[in-house]
Amino acid sequence: MSTEQEPTTPQGELSQALPPEQPEVDDHAAALDELQDRWRRALADLDNLRKRHAKELAAVRNEERARTAAAWLPVVDNLDLALTHAGSDPSAVVEGVKAVRDQAVDVLRRLGYPRYEETGVPFDPAVHEVVGTVDDPDAEPNTVVQVMRPGYGEGSRQLRPAAVMVSKRQE
């Protein structure tokens, strides 16, 4: 029988045998806590920014709607005026309605949507919508010969294309 004794370590030696508590672990935990706090604050700032942006966007939309509606008020006023004179001279009413139409076209132009209704220009599918073709020997093939409904806008700011009649190819 062998009597092997477990190595015994006095209490003082035991504390030296275990690794001392590492101060860098505490430093890492503190840094992690700080980073998590900063992350939460950044998320809260982002959320506040989103909410503020949504409010500002709504305010800008409302201001733009009011500005656009205010631009149309003189047109409505002139239509009301034309209707009050509808019983009088019919030619004056027609002239008044034409003037109001011109005023409305000007409002659209000032809002960035000019009217176009040119004939004799080459057909362009980006600004024209063909509603029919005609056999016109005096016009080049694929040329706009009649505008049925004018278009408004230009480039990427187009409200609607012009509805046009286009000359056919002559064979």
Q: Is residue 134 part of a domain?
A: yes
Domain of 118: which CATH number?
2.30.22.10
Name 131's Cβ contacts closer than 8 Å, sequence gap at least 6.
Answer: 148, 163, 164, 165
DSSP 3-state assignment of 66? helix
Residue 137 lies in a domain: yes
The whole-number pLDDT of residue 92 equals 76
Measured distance CA(84)–CA(11) in Å, rounded: 110
Q: What b/e readout covers 54-72, taking b as 16+ CB neighbours within 10 angstroms?
A: eeeeeeeeeeeeeeeeeee
pTM: 0.61
Beta-bridge partner residues of 116 = 151
**Residue 157's domain spans which residues?**
114-170
For residue 1, being part of any structural domain is answered with no
146 and 122 in contact (C-beta within 8 Å)?
no
- Based on the structure, what is the number of domains in the chain? 1
- The number of beta carbons lying within 10 Å of the beta carbon of residue 151 is 22
Residue 158 inside a domain? The answer is yes
Count of C-beta atoms within a 10 Å radius of residue 147: 17
Predicted confidence pLDDT, tens digits, the chain (171 residues): 555 555 555 555 555 554 556 677 788 899 999 999 999 999 999 999 999 999 999 999 999 989 888 888 998 888 888 777 777 777 777 888 888 899 999 999 998 899 999 999 999 999 999 999 999 888 889 999 999 999 999 888 899 999 999 998 766
**pLDDT value at position 85?**
75
146 inside domain: yes
Residue 59 lies in a domain: no
Tell me if 64 is assigned to some domain: no
Q: Which of 78, 67, 157 is nearest to 116 (CA)?
A: 157
In a domain, 151, yes or no: yes
Q: What pLDDT is stored for residue 3 in this prediction? A: 55
